[in-house]
Structure 1
Amino acid sequence: MTTLVIGANGQIGRQFCELAEAAGVPIRAMVRREEQHAWFEERGIATVVADLEGDFRHAFAGCDQVLFTAGSGPHTGPDKTLLIDLYAATRAVDLASELGLARFVMVSALRAEDPQAAPEKLRPYMAAKFAADAYLRGAGVPYLILKPGRLTDAPATCRVATSREEAGGENTVSRANVAHALLHLVQARALVDREFHLLDGERAIPEALA
């Protein structure tokens, strides 16, 4: 019952891993470089070194669920966006399918289905997320797709909304709230083949993501 966390060293990934460790949820944090291991080791979090641009099959050993929260980051070009947010994501889905994993939890983006509506520099990212989501839906792996709005560094409130209307027209969500939402979803094993938008709001996470 171990969840492989792909993208564990990212801003959301680190927060999620700390929450999971504190909650006693078995995880394995996938990191790209050996020197990233120390941060997780200090917190008692199991890690595996694997590169999304290389062979990362070994990272799946002993895991029955995947959380994909990796991203190419805001300072890379379209080439890295394609390699990480699309190609690596679809390869991870293929491995989950081949190995018979119980579920694949994908962190996508709000309105990924309409990349032309995004700012120009974000359009490759949105298009990659849209394509990766579509690939996951058709792969035959039980899945969840979480679509956060524009990310902020505000503290966690653990109160969210699942539509802009419910959020009073706002389109933001804190990374901390995303991490808490992911902790809930990773443990809610009965939830499969569902998609959720996620914004800061007023509802408790278990109520909103039911």
Structure 2
Amino acid sequence: MERVLVVGATGHTGKRVIEILNNSKTFEPYAMIRKEEQRQIFEDMDVETVMGDLEKDVSHAAKGMDRIIFAAGSGSKTGEDKTIAIDQEGAKKMIDAAKNEKIKKFVMLSSMGADDPSQNKDMKVYLQAKKNADEHLIQSGLTYSILRPGSLNDELGLAKVKLAEKLNERGEISRDDVAFLLVMSLADPLVKNKTFEALEGRESIKSAIIELSS
């Protein structure tokens, strides 16, 4: 079993990632938590935890891990400083830690629009932070996958998506389906060193991600 550190494990999407990995025969999830009181959530699921705060030093968090899923985010209601601290600088610190530990693959949850933040004035700071983190990952030398989904919703995932390196349209996708895409991206040959966008669609997640990887 390979160890997968889930950064942002306490978030809505991160918890779904943990649940999927916890049923995997290939990967063993480790939840990165910021507060001691968050430990119980994962102990109840028989999931190991790692203490780590993205606003502080996280170099220890990647030790002993094989792969990393970065699903952390400052949230839409936080200020610009927090967004830059977590979505940009926190991500960069995690990437650097992964590089030091020779992590096999780093899977990043980014956002649609991060390729051109100037197109969305309301979310420009957030998207720029995501873009800067994505570019840091691409330039790190790590094997990576960067997922840029549309607007996330909490509807039941149908495992039907539309994927492309650039979709040229806007839309939504469920957190369930995003979590499955993140977990599938852990596999070595799938979306290797690719940045791709995702919306709800008509093609099964499995066939869509294999097709995009070919």
**2:43 corresponds to:** 41
Aligned pair 1:148/2:126, yes or no? Answer: no
Instruction: Map residues 59-74 of structure 1 onto 2, 5 A cutoff.
Output: 59-74=61-76
In the alignment, structure 2 segments of 5+ residues that lack a partner are none
The 8 Å contact of residues 55 and 85 in structure 2, kept in 1 or not, is answered as yes
What is the Cα-based RMSD across aligned positions, in Å?
A: 1.8
**Residue 164 of structure 1, CA deviation:** 11
Structure 1 segments, 4+ long, off by >3 Å, are 163-167
**Residue 178 of structure 1, CA deviation:** 0.4
The letter for the 2-side match of 1:172 is: E
Query: Does the residue aligned with 2:54 lie in a helix, a strand or coil?
Result: coil
**Residue 183 of structure 1, CA deviation:** 1.9
**1:189 corresponds to:** 188
Query: Does the residue aligned with 2:106 lie in a helix, a strand or coil?
Result: strand
Q: Equivalents in 2 of 1:132, 1:113: separation in Å? A: 11
TM-score if structure 2 supplies the norm length?
A: 0.91
Query: Does the residue aligned with 2:23 lie in a helix, a strand or coil?
Result: helix
Q: Equivalents in 2 of 1:60, 1:10: separation in Å? A: 19
**1:135 corresponds to:** 136
**2:163 corresponds to:** 162
**Residue 23 of structure 1, CA deviation:** 2.4
Q: Equivalents in 1 of 2:166, 2:127: separation in Å? A: 22
The letter for the 2-side match of 1:183 is: V
**Residue 80 of structure 1, CA deviation:** 0.5
Query: Does the residue aligned with 2:185 lie in a helix, a strand or coil?
Result: helix
**Residue 165 of structure 1, CA deviation:** 9.6
**Residue 47 of structure 1, CA deviation:** 0.8
**1:106 corresponds to:** 108
Percent identity over paired residues: 36
TM-score if structure 1 supplies the norm length?
A: 0.93
**2:119 corresponds to:** 117
Structure 1 residues 44, 52: CA separation in 2 closer, same or farther (over 3 Å shift)?
Answer: same
